[in-house]
Every structure is written in C-alpha cells, then in structure tokens.
Structure 1
Amino acid sequence: MTLTILSALLLLASASALPQAQPPASPNIQNLTMWGTGCPVGAAGVISEIRKGTPVFNFSEWGLALPNADDPANEATAYKFCTEEMTLNNGPVGFQVRIETVTVFGWAELEEGTKLAIEAETKLGDVVAGQQTVTITKADLKGNDFEVPLEILPFTYSSCVDETGAVPKIVIKTTVSLIGEKRADGTVSKGVVGGAKALGAHFNPVWRPCARPMAKAI
C-alpha cells in the first residue's frame, strides 16, 4: 500500500515540474528501502500527508536528547540518520532528475548554547548529487517547532532516462545532530529533538528534458 501511494505522489510531483507539452511517463517504485539509526527495521518512515505535491515521511525513532546517556564519553553530541533508497521504473524517457530540496521538520527543546544540525545528502545512480547542512538554535524555533528546507547544492542532474524507462536510483540520507555547549563548570547545555513526536522529512524532485546532441555538419 505504501509503495502504491508513494508512486502516485511522485507522479504528481513530476507532472508539476515537466513541460505540459510533453507529459511524463508514470514512474513506478520497484523498491523502497530505508535504514539507519533514525529508521530502524520495523520503524521505517510512514507517509502521512502530501505537502506541495511531495510525500512526507514521519520517523518515530528519531528522538535525541542531551546529555547522551548512550554515549557518556561524548555527552556533548548525539545524532541519528536515515537513508532512503528508491528504485523507479517507467520513468519519462529522455528526461533527467535532480533533488531540489529536502525539508526536515519537527519539535525541539534547546537550551542556550545547544545547536541542532540537520544535513541532507543525495545520490542519483552512481553520482553524488549534492548536499546541504543547516544549523539552528533556540532563537530559530517557533515555540518548539522547526521546519528547515535544505537547498541541495550543486544543481546536479541524473543521467537521462533511457528507452527502458529505468530512473537512476534515488538515495537521500538525512542526519539530525544535537551539539551541546560544554560550560566552564563542566556541565553541558541540554536539548531534546523529536521527543514523543515524530520528525518528518520530504523531498522535491525536479525534472528537465535532456540536452539533445548537436547535429553533425554535412
């Protein structure tokens, strides 16, 4: 059921980004795999809504807290990551794709001095497509909520979808880190992200026609 919903959502996102004169094929997901400390087996992301035509994943295992009781030797930092790997077929022949933005949102409680770092890395097929990191503090929160759009740079497109309709594999790795400030009295500034609430992530794919080779001079 989840793959069917995600296929439909990806089609909506693709259709909105492609020229209407040349409608795309309907990409279908052959495989969707997630792994990492933020999305362990049995607790993978759940599609909860559509936001601006893209799927939103919620991760219930993405909670972090400082000091980090699981790693007392390095109590000033704590992090988790999740990698999503998607294989699509029946893609728009003659087009290529890039990931324009990855947005991460959720709930956090940060003391003064504590930083929340969010990083997104992308890969298209065998090509490392780009990444971005954003750091926020207590002053950046709205109440206890945050929503961070990460613009993926550089603007790297995948190889072209050939006549088989196979789309280069899309891989998105999102890392969330809490970084505490070590004070003069030996204490560390505290912070919680996620808590009892799931964190969310979604991405925005952009398609374009592949450049056509120039005709040979006669």
Structure 2
Amino acid sequence: MALTILSTLFLLGSTSALPQAQPPASPNIQNLTMWGTGCPIGAAGLISEIRNGTPVFSFVEWGLALPNTNDPENETTTSKFCTEEMTLNNGPVGFQVRIETVTVSGWAELEEGTKLVVEADTKFGNVVAGEQTVTITKEGLKGNDFEVPLEILPFIYSSCVDETGVVPKIAIKTTVSLVGEKRADGTVSKGAVGGAKALGVHFNPVWRPCARPMAKAI
C-alpha cells in the first residue's frame, strides 16, 4: 500500500565527508511514496522535523513484540519494514549525490539474549546504492532508547543531475527486527520495539561536483 505526499519542501545540505562544493541549488521533494509493513496506508511516516537540511520521518505504528516466553512454539524473529521513495526536482545541475548515513531511533525493551537488528538499504532508481546493518543488545540501550547511525556502504554516487534539475530517484528501505534467543527449556527471550514512542528515520546526503569530461586529443 502506498501513501503519496506531493510538494514537500526541504533543503538537502552538503557535508565535508569528501571534497565537494556547496550545491548551487536546493532540491525539494516533488513526490514521496511510502509502503511496507511498517508504514501501511493511514500510518505512513510523517515529517516531524527538519534536521541538518533533511526530513526526519516519524513512524507511530511500528510496534513489534516477540511472543510470550512461556509458549515453546514461539517464533524467534519478528520484523517490519518501510520504503520511502523520493523524486526530487530543482536539483543542482552538474552534481551527484550519495546517502552517507541513515539514522534510526526509537524505544525498545530487550531481555537478555534478545537482539534488535536495524537495516538500511538505499537505491538510486533501480541501482543499488549501498546498505548497512547494526545489531543492538540490551547493553546498547540508553534506558529504553536507541539511536543508531548506519554508515551506508559502499560509497556509491548517483548519476549527475542534468539540465532538467531532476535528481535520480532515491529509495530508502528501513527494516527493524527482533531476534529472540531460544533457551534450553524451549522458551524464547522477549523484546518489544515502539511502545508509545515513534520510530524515527533520518538520512544524510553528500553532494559532489561531477567529474568534467576529458578534452579530446588534437
């Protein structure tokens, strides 16, 4: 199921991770579509704020829980995902972009042995741009909160923005999973994600000028 939000404006800032120049234009979202088990229609991510020039998507119905530990027939894994696909216009002509990091934050309650697995996959159109997976245990939580920046690898850049100003379509898929530990008595360690706190997803783009074509030999 998909929810489309049109003409949502935001600035895509640059960072200093690699040599680059400030883009001469500020792209805006012309079309935004979301789908997945973590963002069904009517519960897709809202843009809760703008951070460092890019939107923070807030998913209020991303609740996950492992079944009751007293049932030996329990599944040991449960997961949800959401894909945000964006078409941008007014892009900086002669520049290309990559997704440097995708930061996922939220609330979790984990028993000893339960793992929270967060994965981000990115694409430019149909081209895979990079991915990353991070595993969090009970010891990695701050109270019941977590915030993990996933460094997207490898460093794949989009094609160049041409004179139309249309940026290659960006797709970011976020997957959150709970993996329980099967105990000797057949029970499974418990865990929950979500609760009353929304799951936040934020991406950080890096722009660089495209390489100039080599001059023809005379």
TM-score scaled by structure 2? 0.90
Q: Does the aligned pair in 2 maintain the 1:111–1:191 contact within 8 Å?
A: yes
Structure 2 CA distance for aligned equivalents of residues 138 and 14 of structure 1: 34
2:125 corresponding residue in structure 1? 125
| In 2, Cα distance between equivalents of 1:87 and 1:183 | 47
The one-letter code of the counterpart of 1:7 is L
Corresponding position of 2:93? 93
Matched position secondary structure for 1:14: coil
Does the CA contact (< 8 Å) of 2:76 and 2:182 recur in 1?
yes
One of 1, 6, 9 as aligned partner of 1:7: 9
Q: Which residue of 1 aligns with 2:39?
A: 39
Whole-Å separation in 1 of the counterparts to 2:53 and 2:15: 8
Q: 2:74 touches 2:187 (CA, 8 Å); kept in 1?
A: no
Q: CA deviation at 1:89?
A: 1.4
Q: Separation in 1 of the partners of 2:14 and 2:196?
A: 36
Matched residue type, 2:26: S
Of residues 195-204 and 97-106 in structure 1, the stretch that sits farther from structure 2 once superposed is 195-204
- 1-structure distance, mates of 2:81, 2:100: 20
Give 1:195 deviation, angstroms.
1.5
Cα shift at 1:16? 5.8
CA contact (8 A) 1:67 1:77 kept: no
Give the match for residue 66 of structure 1: 66
Does the 8 Å CA contact 2:13/2:54 hold for their aligned counterparts? Answer: no
2-structure distance, mates of 1:184, 1:119: 29
Per-residue deviation, 1:15: 5.5
Alignment size in residue pairs: 209
Hey, which bits of structure 1, 4+ residues long, moved more than 6 A?
none
Match of 2:208 in 1: 208
The aligned counterpart of 2:108 is: 108
1:188 aligned to 2:188? yes
Within 2, Cα distance between the matches of 1:178 and 1:146?
14
Moved more, 43-52 or 153-162: 43-52
Residue 144 of structure 1 aligns to which amino acid in structure 2?
N
Deviation at 1:217, TM superposition (A): 1.7
CA 1:73/1:86 → structure 2, altered by over 3 Å: closer, same or farther?
Answer: farther
**Distance across 2 between alignment mates of 1:25 and 1:50:** 18
RMSD of aligned residue pairs (Cα, Å)? 1.9
- Which amino acid in the other structure matches residue 129 of structure 1? A
Which runs of 5 or more structure 2 residues have no equivalent in the other structure?
none
| Preserved CA contact (<8 Å) 1:68 1:78 | no
Letter in 2 for 1:137: T
Shift of 1:52: 2.8
Contact persistence 1:68–1:75 (CA under 8 A): no
Structure 1 residue 56, shift from structure 2 partner: 0.7
Report SS of the residue matched to 2:91. coil
Distance 1:217 1:84, change over 3 A: same
The Cα shift of 1:143 comes to 0.5
User: Normalised by the size of structure 1, how large is the TM-score?
Assistant: 0.90
